[in-house]
Amino acid sequence: MTTERRQAFTRGLALLVVIAISVYIFTLPEEQAARLEAFGYPGVFLLAIISNATVLLPAPYLFLIFSLGARFDPFWVAVAAGAGAALGELSGYLAGFGGQAIIARNDIYQRMVLWMEKNGPLTVLLLAFIPNPFFDLTGIAAGALKMPLWKFLTWCFIGKIFKMLLFTYAGAGAFSIPFMHQVVEP
């Protein structure tokens, strides 16, 4: 098998794995996700991995992380959720590595590629911190541009940790996020 064929096979396999994970997670019943709470911090970690492993199909989990901040130590919930969220984002990175041509014509994706080419680490950090539906595109762009995996995960981890710190400490009552108290009461 030539290097080119092996690379095409690896990319295709990565894309199929990402699609399968996304479909599974999107169909995961909410009760199963809520049961992870009984497992404490490892459950938070798994919930964050599962919720962030979807590609372009949002899986809401921040409300649960918010409420878990009131039930557990908010710092450790944020660390577990941030680490899990960063690892879950590998699915977007792999999708970019394996099938960037599928989304390459999207205007938002093209803008993301430009941002990533100009300042990849800062783009990953800021978009991992800000709750937004476009972070999957960031991971896809990082994978497509062959950003080193360690660099992507490091900046993603830092951004996700800071985002989770805000949500967990707000859930613990340290401060208020207006829209969160209206939706979730811990």
Q: What is the pLDDT of residues 106-140, one digit of tens each?
A: 677 777 788 888 888 999 999 999 988 778 888 88
Enumerate residue ranges in the chain where pLDDT < 70: 7-8, 10-37, 55-60, 99-106, 175-186
Q: What pLDDT shows up at residue 47? A: 83
Angle formed at CA 65 by CA 63 and CA 66, multiple of 5 degrees: 60
Sign of CA dihedral 68, 131, 46, 152: negative
Return the half-sphere exposure (C-beta side, CA atoms, 13 A cut-off) of residue 131.
Answer: 14
Q: State how far the Cα of 173 lies from the Cα of 64, in Å rounded to an integer.
A: 15
Q: What is the pLDDT of residue 126?
A: 93
Q: For position 11, what pLDDT does the model report?
A: 61
Between CA 13 and CA 8 the distance in angstroms is 9
Query: Which amino acid is it at 46?
Result: L
Kind and range of the H or E run holding 186: none
- Three-state DSSP class for 27? coil
132 SS3 class: coil
> How far is it, in rounded angstroms, from Cα 85 to Cα 129?
11
Going by C-alpha positions, the residue among 142, 136, 89 that lies closest to residue 115 is 142
* pLDDT at 80 (0 to 100): 96
pLDDT of residue 174: 75
Q: Is this model's pTM higher than 0.85 or not?
A: no
Which pLDDT belongs to residue 162? 96
Rounded to whole angstroms, the Cα distance separating 81 from 72 reads 12
pLDDT at 160: 96
